[in-house]
Structure 1
Amino acid sequence: MSRPLAPEEFTARLRALSSRYWDDHPFHLRLHAGALGEHELRSWAANRWYYQRRIPQKDAAILANCPLPEVRRRWRERIAWHDGERAGEGGAENWLRMAEAVGLSRQEVLDERHVLPGVRFAVDAYVTFARTKPWVEGVASGLTEMFSRGLMARRLADMRERYPWIAEDGFAYFTSRLAVVADEGKSTLDIVVRHCRTREQQDAAVAALAFKCDVLRAILDAVDYHASGS
C-alpha cells in the first residue's frame, strides 16, 4: 500500500485540478465577453437554478453520513446560507432574483420548465454521489470553492459592465457569495486534509474533486449545446 501523502503534497494534488474547473468553458468565456443574447442568459440562469436548488440537499446528505459533531456543526451553516434562515432569504432566493433580472418569471424558474435533461442528470448524479459515498469524499467534492472566488469576482465585474440592463439587485447572489466563499474553501480543505489519513482516502478525495469538476462542466456543456441549436 502506498504511503499517505504529506499534507502539502496532498493539497498540491487537489489544487492541481484547477485546470479542470469550468472557468475556461466556452460558454463562460462568451458570458464574460458580453457575447450572450438574452435568451442564452435566461437559459443559463434557469438551468443554474436547478443546481442551486439541489445544493442544500447535497449538503444535507453529507451531514447525514457524517458521524462527527464538530464537522456537522460547520457543515450545517452551508444549508442555512443557501436556504436562508427564513423565507425570502438565502442564496437560492438571491439566485431567483438573478433569474428575474434577466427576464424570467419566478414561476417558470420554480417549475423547472427550462431545465435541460443533461443538466438534471449531472446535478442529480452529484446529489447521489454525496448520498452514497463516504462523507469525507462528499466534502472533498466541494473543494471547487478553492477555484471559484476569482471566477465569481470576475463574473460580477464583467456582467455589470457587459450587461448593464441587468438590475443591480440581480447580482445579490454574487455579492453575498463573495463574502463567504474564501473562508468556506479554507475550512473545507482543512477538513479534507485532517480526515483523509490514508493514501486510499486521499486518492478518493482527489477523484471526488475531479468528479465535481466534471459535473460542473457537464452542466455548461448541456446549456452551451442548447444555446448553439436555438
Structure 2
Amino acid sequence: MSAVAPAEFVAELRALAPRYWDSHPFHLRMHAGQLSKHELQAWAANRWYYQRCIAQKDAAILSNCPSPEIRRQWRERIVWHDGTRPGEGGAENWIRLAEAVGLTREEVLDERHVLPGTRFAVDAYVNFARTQPWVVGIASGLTEMFSGALMRKRLTALREQYPWIAEEGFAYFTDRIQAVAGEGQATLDIVVEHSVTREQQLAAVSALSFKCDVLRAVLDAVDYYSGKGRP
C-alpha cells in the first residue's frame, strides 16, 4: 500500500480533532463555571501527574531518535517543562496553579490525590514513547495542533468563572499558549517528512488517536471521582 500525499496525510491527522479532550464533559463544566473548588483541586492534582511525566516521555523519544538535528529540536521540550534550574519550567508553573486552587505543594508532589485511572493512562503513554519508533512517539504529540485554542478558552474561563484563583496561578497557561502558538507545525513537519510509507503514516494517525484517548482517560477518572462526591 503506497503512502498518500502529504496533504491527505495531514488531513487524516487533523480529522482526529473531535477526539481531543476539549469537548469532554468535565472541561465543558469547567468552562461554564460549574466546578466546585474540590473538583478543581482533583483536576489540578491529577493533571500534575501528566505534567510530571511529560519530560520523561520526551526523553524516551530522544533515546530512540538517531538524528542529532531532531534531538536538538526535541530536547527543548524537556527544558520547557523542567526548566534550567529549580523553580522554573512548566511543571513548576503547574504546581503554582495547584497551590492557587488550594492544594499544598507537599500533597501535589507526593501524589496522594492521583487516581488509579490517571496513573494507568499516563504510565501507558510514557511506555508507548519508550517502545514505539521515535517518529511515532513524536506523532503522539500532535495534539499541539488542537491545544492552543483550548488553552486560550480555558484561561479566559478560569479568570472569569473562578475569580478566587490568584493570577500567578495562570503562569502555566500564559507560557504554554506562547509555546504552542505555531499549532504544532514544527512537529507536524517532522512527522510528515519521516513517515514515508503508508504503514508509517497509519502508525502516526494511530499514535495521535492514542494520545487523545490518554488525555480523555485522565478526565474520565477525575469526572467519575468528582461525581461520586467523595471528600
TM-score surpassing 0.5? Answer: yes
Does residue 1:142 correspond to 2:123, yes or no? no
Aligned to 2:16: 17
Superposed CA deviations along residues 112-148 of structure 1, whole A, max 9, x for unmatched, are 0000000000000000000000000000000000000
Tell me the amino acid that sits aligned with residue 25 of structure 2. Answer: P
Superposed CA RMSD in Å reads 0.6
1:182 alignment partner, SS class: coil
Give the 5 Å matches for 1:1-230.
2-183=1-182, 185-230=184-229
Percent of residue pairs bearing the same amino acid type = 73
Tell me the TM-score normalised to structure 1 length: 0.99
Aligned residues: 229
Q: Displacement of 1:3 after TM fit?
A: 1.2
Deviation at 1:184? 6.4
Q: Deviations over 1:76-106 (max 9, x none)?
A: 0000000001100000000000000000000
Q: Hey, what's the Cα distance between the residues in 2 that align with 1:184 and 1:62?
A: 20
Which letter does structure 2 place at the counterpart of 1:47? N
Q: Counterpart amino acid of 1:8?
A: A
Q: Which runs of 4+ in 1 moved over 2 A?
A: none
Gaps of 5+ in 2: none
On the 8 A contact 2:142/2:188 being kept in 1, the answer is yes
Deviation readout 1:23-43 (Å, 9 max, x if unpaired): 000000000000000000000
The 8 Å contact of residues 147 and 183 in structure 2, kept in 1 or not, is answered as no
| Structure 2 Cα separation of the partners of residues 82 and 176 of structure 1 | 11
Report SS of the residue matched to 1:80: helix
Counterparts of 1:165 and 1:186, CA distance in 2: 36
SS in 1 for 2:16: helix
TM-score (norm 2): 0.98
How far is 1:183 from its partner?
Answer: 2.9
Q: Which amino acid is the alignment partner of residue 151 of structure 2?
A: M
Contact 2:148/2:183 (CA < 8 Å) preserved in 1? no
Q: Tell me, which stretches of 5 or more residues in structure 1 are unaligned?
A: none
Q: Distance in 2 between matches of 1:72 and 1:15?
A: 25
Structure 2 SS opposite 1:164: coil
Q: Report the CA distance between 1:190 and its aligned residue.
A: 0.4
